[in-house]
Amino acid sequence: MQDLSQKIAIVTGAGSGIGLGIASALIKAGAKVALTDIRKEALDQAMAHLETLGGECMAIEVDVSDATSVQAAADQVVERWGKLHIAVNNAGVAMHGMHLEQYSLADWDWVMGVNIHGVIHGIRSFLPFLKAHGESAHIVNTASIGGLQVNPNFLTGPYSMTKYAVVALSEALRNELTGTPVGVSVLCPAAVDTDIHLSGRARPERLGGPTERPETLFVGEAIKGGMDPQNVAQYVIQAIRDEQFWILPHAAPQSWLEARHLDIQAGFHWASKQA
Ligand SMILES: NC(=O)c1ccc[n+]([C@@H]2O[C@H](COP(=O)([O-])OP(=O)(O)OC[C@H]3O[C@@H](n4cnc5c(N)ncnc54)[C@H](O)[C@@H]3O)[C@@H](O)[C@H]2O)c1
Protein backbone atom coordinates (compact mmCIF):
# COMPACT_ATOMS: atom_id res chain seq x y z
CA MET A 1 0.00 0.00 0.00
CA GLN A 2 2.14 2.84 -1.28
CA ASP A 3 -0.28 5.72 -0.77
CA LEU A 4 -1.62 6.07 2.76
CA SER A 5 -3.54 9.30 2.18
CA GLN A 6 -7.26 9.06 3.01
CA LYS A 7 -6.76 5.49 4.27
CA ILE A 8 -8.69 4.67 7.45
CA ALA A 9 -6.62 3.35 10.37
CA ILE A 10 -7.15 2.19 13.92
CA VAL A 11 -4.31 1.95 16.47
CA THR A 12 -4.65 0.32 19.88
CA GLY A 13 -2.59 1.61 22.80
CA ALA A 14 -2.31 4.93 20.95
CA GLY A 15 -2.44 7.11 24.06
CA SER A 16 1.33 7.07 24.47
CA GLY A 17 4.63 5.56 23.39
CA ILE A 18 4.92 3.51 20.21
CA GLY A 19 1.17 3.59 19.48
CA LEU A 20 1.10 7.38 19.65
CA GLY A 21 4.19 7.49 17.41
CA ILE A 22 2.48 5.25 14.84
CA ALA A 23 -0.75 7.26 15.00
CA SER A 24 1.20 10.53 14.43
CA ALA A 25 3.12 9.04 11.51
CA LEU A 26 -0.10 7.74 9.92
CA ILE A 27 -1.72 11.16 10.22
CA LYS A 28 1.35 12.82 8.70
CA ALA A 29 1.08 10.31 5.84
CA GLY A 30 -2.49 11.52 5.25
CA ALA A 31 -4.48 8.71 6.89
CA LYS A 32 -7.53 9.21 9.10
CA VAL A 33 -6.75 7.62 12.43
CA ALA A 34 -8.83 6.27 15.30
CA LEU A 35 -6.75 6.32 18.46
CA THR A 36 -7.79 3.81 21.08
CA ASP A 37 -6.51 3.35 24.61
CA ILE A 38 -7.73 2.30 28.04
CA ARG A 39 -6.54 5.61 29.59
CA LYS A 40 -8.90 8.48 28.76
CA GLU A 41 -6.47 11.14 29.99
CA ALA A 42 -3.74 9.79 27.70
CA LEU A 43 -6.17 9.85 24.76
CA ASP A 44 -7.15 13.46 25.55
CA GLN A 45 -3.48 14.51 25.58
CA ALA A 46 -2.74 12.54 22.40
CA MET A 47 -5.71 14.11 20.59
CA ALA A 48 -4.63 17.61 21.64
CA HIS A 49 -1.19 16.88 20.19
CA LEU A 50 -2.42 15.23 16.99
CA GLU A 51 -4.97 17.91 16.21
CA THR A 52 -2.05 20.34 15.82
CA LEU A 53 -0.85 18.17 12.91
CA GLY A 54 -3.98 19.10 11.01
CA GLY A 55 -5.17 15.60 10.15
CA GLU A 56 -8.43 13.87 10.91
CA CYS A 57 -8.54 11.67 13.99
CA MET A 58 -10.91 10.39 16.63
CA ALA A 59 -10.40 8.89 20.10
CA ILE A 60 -12.16 5.85 21.49
CA GLU A 61 -11.74 4.48 25.00
CA VAL A 62 -11.09 0.75 24.61
CA ASP A 63 -9.94 -2.09 26.81
CA VAL A 64 -8.34 -4.52 24.33
CA SER A 65 -8.69 -7.39 26.80
CA ASP A 66 -12.48 -7.04 26.43
CA ALA A 67 -13.80 -8.41 23.12
CA THR A 68 -16.99 -6.34 23.25
CA SER A 69 -15.03 -3.12 23.73
CA VAL A 70 -12.78 -3.84 20.72
CA GLN A 71 -15.75 -4.76 18.50
CA ALA A 72 -17.57 -1.56 19.50
CA ALA A 73 -14.50 0.48 18.49
CA ALA A 74 -14.24 -1.24 15.10
CA ASP A 75 -17.96 -0.66 14.46
CA GLN A 76 -17.67 3.00 15.48
CA VAL A 77 -14.80 3.63 13.05
CA VAL A 78 -16.60 2.01 10.12
CA GLU A 79 -19.84 3.79 11.01
CA ARG A 80 -18.05 7.14 10.92
CA TRP A 81 -15.57 6.68 8.07
CA GLY A 82 -17.14 3.83 6.08
CA LYS A 83 -14.15 1.49 5.83
CA LEU A 84 -11.02 0.24 7.55
CA HIS A 85 -7.67 -0.14 5.74
CA ILE A 86 -5.01 -0.31 8.46
CA ALA A 87 -5.24 -1.93 11.89
CA VAL A 88 -2.39 -1.74 14.39
CA ASN A 89 -2.73 -4.11 17.36
CA ASN A 90 -0.20 -2.36 19.54
CA ALA A 91 -1.52 -2.15 23.12
CA GLY A 92 0.63 -4.14 25.51
CA VAL A 93 1.76 -4.26 29.11
CA ALA A 94 5.01 -5.16 30.86
CA MET A 95 5.07 -7.72 33.66
CA HIS A 96 8.71 -8.31 34.54
CA GLY A 97 10.99 -8.79 37.52
CA MET A 98 9.59 -11.76 39.45
CA HIS A 99 10.04 -15.52 39.17
CA LEU A 100 7.30 -17.38 37.33
CA GLU A 101 5.88 -19.09 40.42
CA GLN A 102 5.50 -15.76 42.23
CA TYR A 103 2.85 -14.28 39.94
CA SER A 104 -0.80 -14.60 40.98
CA LEU A 105 -3.37 -16.05 38.58
CA ALA A 106 -4.78 -12.53 38.20
CA ASP A 107 -1.33 -11.35 37.08
CA TRP A 108 -1.24 -14.06 34.38
CA ASP A 109 -4.80 -13.20 33.30
CA TRP A 110 -3.80 -9.54 32.93
CA VAL A 111 -0.64 -10.03 30.87
CA MET A 112 -2.31 -12.63 28.64
CA GLY A 113 -5.59 -10.67 28.50
CA VAL A 114 -3.94 -7.54 27.13
CA ASN A 115 -0.95 -8.88 25.19
CA ILE A 116 -2.50 -12.02 23.66
CA HIS A 117 -6.28 -11.67 23.79
CA GLY A 118 -5.92 -8.00 22.85
CA VAL A 119 -4.36 -9.07 19.55
CA ILE A 120 -6.86 -11.92 19.08
CA HIS A 121 -9.73 -9.47 19.62
CA GLY A 122 -8.16 -7.10 17.11
CA ILE A 123 -7.88 -9.88 14.54
CA ARG A 124 -11.50 -10.94 15.11
CA SER A 125 -12.95 -7.42 15.02
CA PHE A 126 -10.71 -5.58 12.52
CA LEU A 127 -9.85 -8.24 9.94
CA PRO A 128 -13.40 -8.72 8.55
CA PHE A 129 -13.52 -4.95 7.88
CA LEU A 130 -10.00 -4.99 6.32
CA LYS A 131 -11.16 -7.74 3.95
CA ALA A 132 -14.65 -6.38 3.25
CA HIS A 133 -13.83 -3.72 0.61
CA GLY A 134 -11.31 -5.69 -1.44
CA GLU A 135 -8.87 -2.75 -1.52
CA SER A 136 -5.29 -2.90 -0.20
CA ALA A 137 -5.26 -3.24 3.57
CA HIS A 138 -2.71 -4.00 6.24
CA ILE A 139 -2.58 -5.36 9.78
CA VAL A 140 0.37 -4.71 12.10
CA ASN A 141 0.85 -6.57 15.38
CA THR A 142 3.27 -5.19 17.94
CA ALA A 143 5.23 -8.07 19.45
CA SER A 144 8.75 -7.41 20.75
CA ILE A 145 12.25 -8.77 20.37
CA GLY A 146 11.08 -10.65 23.49
CA GLY A 147 8.80 -12.54 21.09
CA LEU A 148 11.85 -14.12 19.47
CA GLN A 149 14.06 -14.86 22.48
CA VAL A 150 13.82 -14.82 26.29
CA ASN A 151 16.31 -12.32 27.64
CA PRO A 152 18.67 -14.20 29.97
CA ASN A 153 19.56 -11.06 31.95
CA PHE A 154 16.07 -9.98 33.05
CA LEU A 155 13.08 -11.84 34.43
CA THR A 156 10.81 -11.32 31.43
CA GLY A 157 9.22 -14.77 31.14
CA PRO A 158 5.49 -13.89 31.19
CA TYR A 159 5.95 -10.95 28.83
CA SER A 160 8.07 -12.99 26.43
CA MET A 161 5.56 -15.81 26.48
CA THR A 162 2.82 -13.42 25.35
CA LYS A 163 5.02 -11.89 22.66
CA TYR A 164 5.94 -15.34 21.27
CA ALA A 165 2.16 -15.78 20.92
CA VAL A 166 1.88 -12.48 19.01
CA VAL A 167 4.67 -13.58 16.64
CA ALA A 168 2.92 -16.95 16.08
CA LEU A 169 -0.45 -15.27 15.47
CA SER A 170 1.20 -12.92 12.98
CA GLU A 171 2.97 -15.75 11.14
CA ALA A 172 -0.35 -17.64 10.98
CA LEU A 173 -2.07 -14.54 9.61
CA ARG A 174 0.64 -14.12 6.99
CA ASN A 175 0.12 -17.73 5.88
CA GLU A 176 -3.64 -17.27 5.69
CA LEU A 177 -3.57 -13.91 3.91
CA THR A 178 -0.89 -14.59 1.31
CA GLY A 179 -2.30 -13.73 -2.12
CA THR A 180 -5.00 -11.45 -0.70
CA PRO A 181 -4.99 -7.63 -0.60
CA VAL A 182 -4.37 -7.71 3.18
CA GLY A 183 -0.71 -7.45 4.17
CA VAL A 184 0.69 -8.38 7.57
CA SER A 185 3.62 -7.08 9.63
CA VAL A 186 4.94 -7.97 13.04
CA LEU A 187 6.86 -5.31 14.94
CA CYS A 188 9.68 -6.68 17.13
CA PRO A 189 11.65 -3.80 18.66
CA ALA A 190 14.19 -3.97 21.48
CA ALA A 191 14.40 -0.96 23.84
CA VAL A 192 12.09 1.94 22.99
CA ASP A 193 11.94 4.96 25.28
CA THR A 194 8.35 4.81 26.64
CA ASP A 195 6.49 4.51 29.95
CA ILE A 196 5.73 0.81 29.58
CA HIS A 197 7.18 0.12 33.05
CA LEU A 198 4.12 1.98 34.43
CA SER A 199 1.64 -0.36 32.70
CA GLY A 200 0.17 -1.53 36.00
CA ARG A 201 -1.52 1.85 36.53
CA ALA A 202 -4.13 1.00 33.87
CA ARG A 203 -4.77 -2.59 34.87
CA PRO A 204 -8.51 -3.24 34.55
CA GLU A 205 -10.43 -3.96 37.79
CA ARG A 206 -11.59 -7.38 36.57
CA LEU A 207 -7.92 -8.34 35.95
CA GLY A 208 -6.64 -7.27 39.35
CA GLY A 209 -6.98 -3.46 39.28
CA PRO A 210 -4.23 -0.82 39.23
CA THR A 211 -1.01 -2.31 40.59
CA GLU A 212 2.27 -0.65 41.44
CA ARG A 213 4.99 -3.24 41.25
CA PRO A 214 8.50 -2.06 42.17
CA GLU A 215 9.95 -5.21 40.54
CA THR A 216 8.91 -3.94 37.08
CA LEU A 217 10.37 -0.45 37.44
CA PHE A 218 13.89 -1.49 36.36
CA VAL A 219 12.43 -1.73 32.85
CA GLY A 220 12.13 2.07 32.87
CA GLU A 221 15.89 2.35 33.41
CA ALA A 222 16.63 -0.33 30.81
CA ILE A 223 14.68 1.44 28.05
CA LYS A 224 15.63 5.02 28.96
CA GLY A 225 17.63 6.34 26.01
CA GLY A 226 16.22 3.57 23.81
CA MET A 227 14.87 4.26 20.33
CA ASP A 228 12.45 7.17 20.00
CA PRO A 229 8.87 5.92 19.32
CA GLN A 230 8.73 8.29 16.33
CA ASN A 231 11.66 6.42 14.77
CA VAL A 232 9.97 3.07 15.36
CA ALA A 233 6.87 4.49 13.70
CA GLN A 234 8.83 5.34 10.55
CA TYR A 235 9.78 1.66 10.20
CA VAL A 236 6.12 0.71 10.60
CA ILE A 237 4.94 3.16 7.92
CA GLN A 238 7.60 1.92 5.50
CA ALA A 239 6.72 -1.72 6.26
CA ILE A 240 3.06 -1.01 5.38
CA ARG A 241 4.22 0.59 2.13
CA ASP A 242 6.64 -2.27 1.31
CA GLU A 243 4.40 -5.09 2.62
CA GLN A 244 7.34 -6.09 4.83
CA PHE A 245 6.46 -8.78 7.38
CA TRP A 246 9.30 -8.65 9.92
CA ILE A 247 9.94 -5.19 11.39
CA LEU A 248 13.20 -5.39 13.35
CA PRO A 249 14.29 -1.80 13.98
CA HIS A 250 17.23 -2.65 16.29
CA ALA A 251 20.44 -4.21 14.95
CA ALA A 252 21.93 -5.62 18.17
CA PRO A 253 19.46 -8.52 18.64
CA GLN A 254 20.56 -10.12 15.38
CA SER A 255 23.49 -11.80 17.14
CA TRP A 256 21.24 -12.90 20.06
CA LEU A 257 18.92 -14.64 17.59
CA GLU A 258 21.81 -16.25 15.73
CA ALA A 259 23.02 -17.69 19.06
CA ARG A 260 19.49 -18.96 19.82
CA HIS A 261 19.23 -20.66 16.44
CA LEU A 262 22.61 -22.34 16.96
CA ASP A 263 21.34 -23.59 20.33
CA ILE A 264 18.23 -25.08 18.67
CA GLN A 265 20.34 -26.68 15.95
CA ALA A 266 22.48 -28.24 18.68
CA GLY A 267 19.27 -29.92 19.90
CA PHE A 268 18.81 -31.58 16.49
CA HIS A 269 22.47 -32.58 16.50
CA TRP A 270 22.14 -34.12 19.97
CA ALA A 271 19.03 -36.08 18.92
CA SER A 272 20.71 -37.37 15.75
CA LYS A 273 23.43 -38.94 17.90
CA GLN A 274 20.89 -40.81 20.11
CA ALA A 275 19.56 -43.05 17.30
N1 LIG B 1 9.01 0.13 25.06
C2 LIG B 1 9.71 -0.91 24.63
O3 LIG B 1 10.94 -1.02 24.86
C4 LIG B 1 9.02 -1.99 23.82
C5 LIG B 1 9.84 -2.94 23.19
C6 LIG B 1 9.24 -3.96 22.45
C7 LIG B 1 7.85 -3.99 22.34
N8 LIG B 1 7.08 -3.06 22.96
C9 LIG B 1 5.63 -3.16 22.80
O10 LIG B 1 5.14 -1.96 22.25
C11 LIG B 1 3.76 -1.81 22.56
C12 LIG B 1 3.51 -0.41 23.06
O13 LIG B 1 4.20 -0.23 24.28
P14 LIG B 1 4.96 1.12 24.68
O15 LIG B 1 6.35 0.77 24.95
O16 LIG B 1 4.63 2.17 23.72
O17 LIG B 1 4.31 1.39 26.11
P18 LIG B 1 3.24 2.49 26.60
O19 LIG B 1 2.87 2.07 27.96
O20 LIG B 1 3.76 3.86 26.38
O21 LIG B 1 2.03 2.28 25.59
C22 LIG B 1 1.10 1.24 25.72
C23 LIG B 1 -0.30 1.83 25.70
O24 LIG B 1 -1.24 0.75 25.82
C25 LIG B 1 -2.28 1.16 26.68
N26 LIG B 1 -2.94 0.02 27.28
C27 LIG B 1 -2.54 -0.74 28.34
N28 LIG B 1 -3.47 -1.64 28.62
C29 LIG B 1 -4.48 -1.49 27.72
C30 LIG B 1 -5.72 -2.13 27.52
N31 LIG B 1 -6.13 -3.13 28.30
N32 LIG B 1 -6.49 -1.71 26.50
C33 LIG B 1 -6.11 -0.68 25.71
N34 LIG B 1 -4.97 -0.01 25.88
C35 LIG B 1 -4.15 -0.42 26.87
C36 LIG B 1 -1.59 2.03 27.71
O37 LIG B 1 -2.52 2.90 28.37
C38 LIG B 1 -0.54 2.77 26.89
O39 LIG B 1 -1.02 4.03 26.43
C40 LIG B 1 3.44 -2.90 23.58
O41 LIG B 1 2.80 -3.97 22.95
C42 LIG B 1 4.82 -3.33 24.06
O43 LIG B 1 4.84 -4.64 24.54
C44 LIG B 1 7.64 -2.06 23.70
Give the pLDDT confidence of 83-133 residue by residue, as tens digits: 999 999 999 999 999 999 999 999 999 999 999 999 999 999 999 999 999
Is 235 an annotated catalytic residue?
A: no
pLDDT at 205 over 90: yes
pLDDT at 255 over 90: yes
**What residue's CA is closest to ligand 1, atom 19?**
196
Q: Is the CB of 187 under 6 A from ligand 1?
A: no
| C-alpha 132 to ligand 1 mean position (Å) | 28
Q: Please, which pLDDT band fits residue 275 given cuts at 50, 70 and 90?
A: confident
**Which pLDDT score, from 0 to 100, does residue 241 have?**
98
Whole-structure pTM over 0.95, yes or no?
Answer: yes
Ligand 1 atom closest to residue 223's alpha carbon, by position in its atom list:
3
The mean pLDDT value of the chain amounts to 97
Higher pLDDT, 51 or 27: 27
- Rg (C-alpha) for the chain, rounded Å, is 18
**What residue's CA is closest to ligand 1, atom 40?**
92
What residue spans of the chain are helical by DSSP H? 17-28, 40-51, 67-81, 105-112, 118-132, 157-177, 218-223, 229-242, 253-272
Q: Please, which pLDDT band fits residue 223 given cuts at 50, 70 and 90?
A: very high
Ligand 1 atom closest to residue 226's alpha carbon, by position in its atom list:
3
How many Å apart are CA 77 and CA 120, to the nearest integer?
Answer: 18
Q: Is the CB of 13 under 6 A from ligand 1?
A: yes
Residue range 8-272 forms a domain whose CATH class is alpha beta
Domain ranges, ordered by start, for the chain: 8-272
Alpha-carbon torsion 244, 245, 251, 254, what sign?
A: negative
Q: Using one digit for the tens of pLDDT, what is the confidence trace for 146-190?
A: 999 999 889 999 999 999 999 999 999 999 999 999 999 999 999
pLDDT at 242 over 90: yes
Tell me the average pLDDT across 241-259.
97
Ligand 1 atom closest to residue 192's alpha carbon, by position in its atom list:
3
| C-alpha 263 to ligand 1 mean position (Å) | 30
Ligand 1 atom closest to residue 193's alpha carbon, by position in its atom list:
1
In angstroms, the Cα distances linking 272 to 4, 151, 263, 269, 275 are 51, 28, 15, 5, 6
Q: Is the CB of 92 under 6 A from ligand 1?
A: yes
| C-alpha 118 to ligand 1 mean position (Å) | 11
Q: Using one digit for the tens of pLDDT, what is the confidence trace for 50-79?
A: 989 989 999 999 999 999 999 999 999 999
pLDDT at 202 over 90: yes
Q: Is the CB of 249 under 6 A from ligand 1?
A: no
